[in-house]
């Protein structure tokens, strides 16, 4: 990171001093992805100037790795030839990704310059719903016929590889484009040239449907160690492939989404740093409002015991500790379960086993905390044994309830079709707060007789 | 998932009825990864029996995809020939992964049966520190010389591909094994057979060092869309490659680690579901204790204002709402920042920009919440305007402080070398609780004159 900052300063310096030959030289030796990142940091008005200094063979790749904001700036400034070059050189899935984020006027400007074939492919892909396998796939895969020999296949690959995003797993299709098998280039290398593809192809294929959730597709690729996965339509006709680099992006997006939901934020695709403050506000305020209103119930419990609290104000001092510990104990359980569900390690049928385990963990945690706290109450706070007993009994019971609620709610949420990630810290904390206060006052009124 | 459950029942049924021919038939048509998962669910005493029914060509692959517990059970039961077959068929990196988790007696049993070459490679890899690039790499890459022609390269690939984990990106090395360049099989396909490798190889190489953190390596692979990355030693000699399937595993592990730390759990590599209750207890209790002790300060603030609270017990009713809202507002900010840092989107130099944005977001959130709450206090709770003013002023200020603390601490933690994920909800909540109560009583004592 520090390196690219340094480069940026250097590039700005060269720009200012109009040392264009040097700049061109420097840009030539860089990885296109680093160049794309660098272009993201120069001022908009210098973007086109710098872009035009790129070696022609790198320009389209740099372009397709840039953020959508900068792509839009460039497209608005491009001449016709530049638009044509970029759209024809980009992989179709990258082009579709970009078009999905552009205003209609820019989309039209681009499509007007694409050739008929490209335009048709792009329009097909634009039809798939957001977050579906169809929306992240590319149509640039390598297809073979089962009656070809390996030599035929090699010849076909040699002729068409240039426009394919992946050629290492080839897809064998029937005349009606039904997916019949897969064969890797490695397998073809390891056999003789006159072997018939149909004889060596793998027919037990992991595939996905165009309408499958992209998250499921990415997880399957991770599970089965695939670098590409075939995407078929309802009639099992091959329509595209998803490549592993896109699968990794999907995995990271889904992780971000889970983490945001766990922190009571409405998830979006946009990175934090490039999201405006008003948009950030809109993602956060609904949850804060809902949780604030939920916390009202906790307040109502206190109000109910107002007169008792008037007599034993010392009880108030331990409310924050009880609430925080309950909340933390509950989130530990809920977050462990949410992650387990997200990694497909936990099923609904595990619920009793999990509750049993969490009960044991809670008993141990609760007892440890209660003992530590009892000592502190007696020797440091010097409260009466009765008060200490009320606080510590509440603590133990709160931890047990918190872990029980924390581990159960995400599994139940998943069962009824909600996203388990909602059942994380903020939600659990609100529930556990109310329960722990209720327990507290129950103990207090019975033991202290108020 | 449901499918594999069904299969399991069916397999158990066939086992019970000793229908071994049918079982063998069923196992033959399955994906090795599904079989490995299934074997993880059958009772240990049936494991060897089922394993021996696998088609010989699948057995080693199924074995290397199994969980370490089951691998150990099998190895203890294997005869000499079975051990030899498995260890020679497994990819070296998978073998090392497995050996790292086995007790010494099992490791010795395995190494005794490996051939000299394999044993040497395994021992080399076992030397690298945990979580380093060296510990996840494989030595089974395809190397070429720069003076070879494409035809020579094809010939070499054909001869040696069988024992390589990846052949699609080939690594060009000097006689002293220094990494000189990379060339993909696709590039070789697209050029004539008498082209010299040195003329088409890419010399601007993204590589990693054996001692680099595996997380950095995985992130670089994701960033540069690589399916393999070369790993070099201090003298730039090629010693191995990391493949993208392992990089995805690393990414998922690191995500789990971040999420666990955010929920105040000491992270481990082991899935929740296979972790015993005592181990789970040990991962959770230290943080609960630390956070409980921290919450003591919050209690101390209440104790200090005990007499005031005695006069205005109604103030107590709003403590949970203020604490929860502050905690939630703070975690929204901290978790957004922690994720941004983890995705390399946020640097230390962004701190002022972020604080400025969070201040605006906090102002909007705080004002919205305060207005909503003011109305509720007056019209539903029917408290006096003065009490409502104290509560809502505290609310606004708490949200501002919470977001400020929440966004700043993770960045500062990163700067001084701590893991930013520690600065998530539980920690922020504890700090914000104390601050919000302090603000509350300050307002109360000034406005209510207590």
Confidence of residue A4 (pLDDT cuts 50, 70, 90): very low
**How big is the A-B interface in CB pairs under 8 Å?**
335
Please give the pLDDT value at position A419: 86
pLDDT at A2 over 80: no
Which residue of chain A has the CA closest to B286?
A365
- Do A289 and B369 count as a contact with CB atoms less than 8 A apart? yes
The CA distance from B207 to B239, in Å, is 11
User: Would you state the pLDDT for residue B292?
Assistant: 87
Average model confidence (pLDDT) across chain B: 89
Among A244, A245, A317, whose Cβ lies nearest the Cβ of B299?
A317
- The predicted pLDDT at position B37 comes to 87
Contacts of B320 in chain A (CB under 8 A): 295, 298-299, 302, 319, 323, 433, 437
Nearest CA in chain B to A344: B1
Cβ contacts of B433 on chain A, cutoff 8 Å? 320, 324
Q: Measure CB to CB from residue B248 to each of A248, A260, A310 and give the nearest one.
A: A248
The separation between CA A411 and the C-alpha centre of its own chain, rounded to angstroms, equals 20
- Given a cut of 90, whether residue A43 has pLDDT beyond it is no
Is A252 within 8 Å of B222 (Cβ atoms)?
A: yes
User: Above 70 in pLDDT, residue B3?
Assistant: no
Residue A45 has pLDDT above 60, yes or no: yes
pLDDT of residue A400: 96
Is pLDDT above 90 for B149? Answer: yes
Least confident of B354-358, B404-408, B414-418: B414-418
Q: For chain B, first and last CA: distance in Å?
A: 62
Chain B: nearest CA to A436, how far in angstroms?
Answer: 11
Q: Answer whether residue B365 shows pLDDT above 60.
A: yes
Nearest-Cα residue of chain B relative to residue A62: B224
Helix, strand, coil distribution of chain B in percent, nearest 5:
70, 10, 25
Residue B4 pLDDT class (50, 70, 90 cuts):
very low
Interval B132-142: pLDDT, tens: 999 899 988 99
User: Is the CB of A296 less than 8 angstroms away from the CB of B227?
Assistant: no
A361:B280 CB<8 A:
yes
| pLDDT, chain A, mean | 89
Could you report the predicted ipTM of this complex, rounded to two decimals?
Answer: 0.83
The pLDDT of residue A106 is above 90: no
Q: Is the pLDDT of residue A367 over 50?
A: yes
Residue A425 has pLDDT above 90, yes or no: no
**Two tokens at A102?**
């552009």
For residue B338, pLDDT over 80 is answered with yes
Contact B271 A373 (CB under 8 A): no
Q: Considering only alpha carbons, which residue of chain B is nearest residue A264?
A: B332
Q: What is the 3-state secondary structure (H, E, C) of chain A?
A: CHHHHHHHHHHHHHHHCCCHHHHHHHHHCCCHHHHHHHHCCCCHHHHHHHHCCCCHHHHHHHHHHCCHHHHHHHHHHCCHHHHHHHHHHCCHHHHHHHHHHCCHHHHHHHHHHCCHHHHHHHHHHHCCCCCEHHHHCECCCCEECCCCEHHHHHHHHHHHHHHCCCCCEEEEECCCCEEEEEEEHHHHHCCCCCCEHHHHCECCCCCEECCCEHHHHHHHHHHCCCCEEEEECCCCEEEEEEEHHHHHHHHHHHHHHHHHHHCCCCCCCCCHHHCCHHHHHHHHHHHHHHHHHHHHHHHHHHHHCHHHHHHCHHHHHHHHHHHHHHHHHHHHHHHHHHHHHHCCCCCHHHHHHHHHHHHHHHHHHHHHHHHHHHHHHHHCCCCCHHHHHHHHHHHHHHHHHHHHHHHHHHHHHHHCCCCHHHHCHHHHHHHHHHHHHHHHHHHHHHHCCC
What pLDDT sits at residue A20? 86
Q: Which residues of A touch B292 (CB under 8 A)?
A: 321, 324-325, 369, 372-373
Task: Give B64-101 pLDDT, tens digit per residue.
Answer: 899 888 899 999 999 888 898 888 888 888 888 888 88
- Sorting pLDDT into bands at 50, 70 and 90, what band is A430? confident
Average pLDDT over residues B239-249: 94
Q: How confident is the model at residue B148 (pLDDT cuts 50, 70, 90)?
A: very high
Are the beta carbons of A262 and B335 separated by less than 8 Å?
yes
Q: What integer pLDDT is reported at residue A396 of this predicted model?
A: 96
Q: For residue A317, name the pLDDT band (cuts at 50, 70, 90).
A: confident
Is a pLDDT exceeding 90 seen at residue B410?
yes
Chain A residues with CB inside 8 Å of B332's CB?
263-265, 284, 287-288
Nearest residue, CB atoms, B328 vs list A5, A264, A324? A264
Q: CA of A235, closest CA in chain B: separation in Å?
A: 22
Average the pLDDT over each of A5-14, A400-409, B358-367 and give the range with the smallest value. A5-14
| Portion of chain A with pLDDT greater than 70, in percent | 98
Selected for mutation to probe chain A from B293, B324, B350, B450 (highest A CB count within 10 Å) is: B324
Q: Select the more confidently predicted residue: A377 or B307.
A: A377
Q: State residue A1's pLDDT score.
A: 36
Lowest mean pLDDT among A139-153, A399-413, A421-435: A421-435
Banded model confidence at residue B274, pLDDT cuts 50, 70, 90 = confident
pLDDT score, position B320: 87
Task: Tell which wins on pLDDT, B403 or B446.
Answer: B403
Contact B204 A31 (CB under 8 A): yes
């Amino acid at each position: 990171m520090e390196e690219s900052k340094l480069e940026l300063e250097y590039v700005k310096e060269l720009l200012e001093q109009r040392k264009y030959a040097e700049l061109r030289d420097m840009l030539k030796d860089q990885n296109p992805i680093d160049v794309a990142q660098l272009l993201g940091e120069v001022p908009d008005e210098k973007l086109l100037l710098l872009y035009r200094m790129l070696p022609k063979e790198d320009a389209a790749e740099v372009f397709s790795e840039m953020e959508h904001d900068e792509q839009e700036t460039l497209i608005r400034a491009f001449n016709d030839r530049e638009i044509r070059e970029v759209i024809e050189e980009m992989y179709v899935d990258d082009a579709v990704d970009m078009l999905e984020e552009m205003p209609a006027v820019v989309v039209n400007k681009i499509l007007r310059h694409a050739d008929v074939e490209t335009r048709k492919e792009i329009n097909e892909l634009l039809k798939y719903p957001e977050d579906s396998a169809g929306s992240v796939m590319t149509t640039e895969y390598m297809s073979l016929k089962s009656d070809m020999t390996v030599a035929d296949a090699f010849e076909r690959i040699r002729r068409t590889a240039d426009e394919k995003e992946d050629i290492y797993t080839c897809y064998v299709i029937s005349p009606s484009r039904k997916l019949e098998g897969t064969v890797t280039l490695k397998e073809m290398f390891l056999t003789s040239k006159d072997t018939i593809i149909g004889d060596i192809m793998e027919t037990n294929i992991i595939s996905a449907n165009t309408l499958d959730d992209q998250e499921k597709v990415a997880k399957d690729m991770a599970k089965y160690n695939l670098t590409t996965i075939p995407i078929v339509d309802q009639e099992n006709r091959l329509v595209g492939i998803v490549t592993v680099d896109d699968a990794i992006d999907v995995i990271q997006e889904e992780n971000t989404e889970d983490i945001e939901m766990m922190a009571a934020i409405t998830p979006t695709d946009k990175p934090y740093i490039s999201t405006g403050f008003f948009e950030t506000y809109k993602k956060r305020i609904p949850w804060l409002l809902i949780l604030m209103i939920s916390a009202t119930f906790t307040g109502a419990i206190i109000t109910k015991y107002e007169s008792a609290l008037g007599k034993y104000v010392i009880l108030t001092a331990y409310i924050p500790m009880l609430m925080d510990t309950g909340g933390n104990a509950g989130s530990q359980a809920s977050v462990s379960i949410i992650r387990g569900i997200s990694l497909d390690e936990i099923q609904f049928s595990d619920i009793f086993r999990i509750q049993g385990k969490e009960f044991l963990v809670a008993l141990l945690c609760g007892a440890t905390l209660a003992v530590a706290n009892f000592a502190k109450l007696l020797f440091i706070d010097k409260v009466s044994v009765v008060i200490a007993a009320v606080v510590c009994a509440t603590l133990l019971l709160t931890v047990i309830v918190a872990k029980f609620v924390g581990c159960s709610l995400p599994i139940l949420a998943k069962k009824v079709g909600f996203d388990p990630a909602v059942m994380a810290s903020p939600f659990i904390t609100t529930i556990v707060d109310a329960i722990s206060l209720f327990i507290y006052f129950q103990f207090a009124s019975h033991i202290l007789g108020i």
